[in-house]
Amino acid sequence: MMDEKRINELGDELYAALRSQSVLAPLTERESAITIEDAYHISLRMVSQRLERDGESIVGKKIGVTSKPVQEMLGVFQPDFGFLTNTMEYSDGADIPIGGNMIQPRAEGEIAFRLKSDLVGPRVTEQDVLDATATIMPCFEIVDSRIQDWNIKIQDTVADNASCGVYVLGTTEVDPRDLDLPNLKMTIYKNGQFNSEGLGSAVQGNPLTAVAWLANTLGKFGIPFKAGEVILSGSLVPLIPVVSGDEMSLEIAGVGGCSCRFV
């Protein structure tokens, strides 16, 4: 286990990189013995700085690197996990400033869950997730990395709050009990042209499985899911690099769509 002083130093470095729009050498190159648990505590330090210094609040959680296309793209072969804050959320159709806190953004198409009751792991099942869910909705997560050139291992992305950037929620919210979640089909368009498509089964076979995994993983650290929170369940398609001027839209059959533009 890394000592607390070093954990705090690395968390502060990541926070400073976020605010200055700069990048760091991979933590895994600098700290050869870093564990996922160390990385999680580094991320807590980074997030705590956002809460204490900037007055942000936690409004949800996210799981990432769940699908094979994303894992193969990044060379990271297990999921990561992180926190969503109130300043990360954008409304459907929003203009997202690349020059804000974005460094090397990429878009992901996801299914987001809105909870109506608390979930506390471990031992959360897919049925528990369904029972605790009010609605699901289409979502773009715009991931970003404070690690140079996305040269990450699992410890790097966990430490970097799961490479969180911002996210966009669609306005259509539906009851997941009426849907076959693994077979939901998502189609992504970039600048009006077809880009990619994927099924709900891309995330651990079922988005419910992904959310249950996240609840149980965070439960080991004493972190609950809370009623009203938004949970991002992971990308159904490969990551899509975006630059100023790009427009992204997606449609989930039977659910709805969302869009955003980068400025």
User: Beta partners for 138?
Assistant: 111
Domains of the chain listed by start with CATH number: 4-262 (3.90.850.10)
Total Cβ atoms within 10 A of residue 226: 15
214-247: pLDDT as tens digits: 999 889 889 999 999 999 999 999 899 999 999 9
The band of 79, judged by pLDDT with boundaries at 50, 70 and 90, is confident
How many whole angstroms separate alpha carbon 71 and alpha carbon 76?
5
Query: What integer pLDDT is reported at residue 81 of this predicted model?
Result: 86
Question: Looking at residues 165-188, what average pLDDT do you find?
Answer: 97
- CB-side neighbour CA atoms (13 Å) of 249: 10
Six token digits for residue 154: 């699992």
Six token digits for residue 256: 């709805």
% of the chain with per-residue pLDDT over 90:
83
Q: In what order do the strands lie in the sheet with 185-190?
A: 94-96, 256-262, 247-252, 185-190, 193-199
Question: Looking at residues 86-104, what average pLDDT do you find?
Answer: 91
pTM as predicted:
0.93
Query: What integer pLDDT is reported at residue 99 of this predicted model?
Result: 77
Across the chain, what does the average pLDDT equal? Answer: 93
Q: At what angle do helices 36-54 and 4-20 cross, to 10 degrees?
A: 60
Say if CB 63 and CB 232 are below 8 A apart. Answer: yes
Judge whether residue 68 has pLDDT over 90: no
Which residue, among 239, 175, 226, 172, has the nearest Cα to 61 in the 3D structure? 226
How many whole angstroms separate alpha carbon 143 and alpha carbon 145?
7
Q: How does DSSP classify residue 89?
A: E
The band of 149, judged by pLDDT with boundaries at 50, 70 and 90, is very high
Query: What integer pLDDT is reported at residue 75 of this predicted model?
Result: 73
